[in-house]
Chains A and B, each alone.
Chain A
Amino acid sequence: MEIYVHTAGSEEPELIEIDGAALVRELLVIGQGQGAELVMIEAVAEPIDLDITIEEAGIRRRDHVHRGRCRRIDVRVRYNGDKSHEFHPVATIRKVFEWATGSGGFNLTPEQKAEHVLAVPGADHFLDWEVRIGSLATAGSCDVVLDLAPKSRFEG
């Protein structure tokens, strides 16, 4: 079956073909594994046992899984100051944005919220809502820094 594999250090997922009877640990090395040591899914807080099968782990066709080295990602968002929060690696940018713009973050009004988006500092694009936060962790780190930036209105 096909599953989406999100890997630390690679913003884009891979769509990987794997047998449901294969062990979860095979996910560490298939495709561009980049030295991943653990596999996580959104429904479970802790890493999956590497010695059970994909099916036993409850992973279904075209589910999203994360592989990397971090059990949690410490996210620091910059806006008017800094706010930090810990996330599961499979958490989407949408989820991070909701926290960053909510009462635990910078407490934006609905109008302000509609005009902002998250980006990796120095990147040439804003982050897609479906990017998994764990995929933004770089080698040797479980920390991610993001900017809460305004959207543009195009005028020519």
Chain B
Amino acid sequence: MTNAVIGPDQRALCDHLRSARFQAGVDAGRWRLISITWPHALIAISAAPRKGAPEEFVLRFELSGYPASAPTGCPWDVGQDAILLAGQRPKGSRVGHIFRPDWEGGRALYAPWDRLALAHGGWADKYPMYAWNARRDLSFYLTNVHDALNNDDYLGI
């Protein structure tokens, strides 16, 4: 990724992708960058092993205005280049709720670190430990998703 003729949001993302926090996650196998076609980025996040379930789930991020504006991540089927179908989404009490397909057509995660969900009235105040703000970075988002996908209540798909 070059810094030639790019906006401050894309530059901020590039800087973060080089950061120790993001790179440590890559080295630990927690997530990996697949591609960037600004303002979108495909990032795969690893999941705990479950019978019949994939080793990772992909989010297609829209990152306009990053980091002042929160990222929004759409569960994505890379092979189909389309939104991930309900039957292919992670199941489990907490993670299933975060990846719920019945809210906004399933095009964002139902969690206060996501731009669309954060638009819920009062979520920033109700869930301050999880809510996005301009001091966060993409690894904050990825860490929360990785935690949900590796929790004991994750059941597979």
A-side residues, CB < 8 A to B, are 4, 12-15, 62, 64, 110-111, 113-115, 117, 119, 123-126, 128-130, 149, 151-154, 156
Q: Is the CB of B123 within 8 A of A154?
A: yes
B64 within 8 A of A: no
Q: Which residue of A lies closest to B22 (CB)?
A: A15
Chain B neighbourhood of A123, CB < 8 A:
129
The residue that A128 contacts in the complex, of B111, B117, B143, B152, with Cβ under 8 A, is: B143
Check A129 against B147 for contact (C-beta < 8 Å): yes
Return chain B residues, CB-CB under 8 Å to A126.
Answer: 129
Q: Which of A12, A115, A124, A154 contacts B128 (CB 8 A)?
A: A124
* A125/B127 in contact, CB under 8 A: no
B94/A151 in contact, CB under 8 A: yes
Do B98 and A62 touch (CB < 8 A)? no
Query: Which residue of chain B has the shortest Cβ distance to A16 in the bound complex?
Result: B20
- What are 5 A-B interface contacts by the 8 Å CB criterion? A110-B152, A115-B94, A151-B94, A153-B94, A156-B117
- Are B152 and A113 interface neighbours, CB within 8 A? yes
Q: Is the CB of B140 within 8 A of A125?
A: yes
Question: Contact string, B131-157, partner A, CB cutoff 8 A, digits 1/0?
Answer: 001000000100100010001110000
List the interface of chain B (C-beta within 8 A of A). Answer: 19-21, 23-25, 27-28, 93-94, 97-98, 110-112, 117, 120, 123, 127-130, 133, 140, 143, 147, 151-153
- Alpha-carbon separation in the docked complex, A100 to B19 (Å): 30
Alpha-carbon separation in the docked complex, A98 to B151 (Å): 13
Closest Cβ of chain B: how far from A20's Cβ, in Å? 18
- Please tell me which one of the listed residues B111, B133, B151 contacts residue A114 in the complex, with CB atoms under 8 A apart: B151
Contact A130 B130, beta carbon cutoff 8 Å: no
Known: A154-B110, A154-B117. A125 touches B129 (CB 8 A): yes
Residues of chain A lying within 8 A (CB to CB) of residue B112: 154
| A114–B24 CB distance below 8 A | no
B contact residues around A151 at 8 Å (CB): 94
The residues of A that contact B128 with a CB separation of less than 8 Å are 124
* Chain B positions within 8 Å of A117 at CB level: 147
Shortest Cβ distance from B103 into chain A, in angstroms? 9
**Does A156 lie within 8 Å of B123, measured CB to CB?**
yes
Given contacts A153-B97, A156-B120, contact A14 B147 (CB under 8 A): no
C-alpha gap A128/B150 in the complex (Å): 13
A14 near B20 with CB under 8 A, answer yes
Q: Which residue of A lies closest to B21 (CB)?
A: A12
CA distance A117 to B130 in the complex (A): 12
Chain A nearest Cβ from B97, distance in angstroms? 6
Q: Which residues of B contact A128 (CB under 8 A)?
A: 143
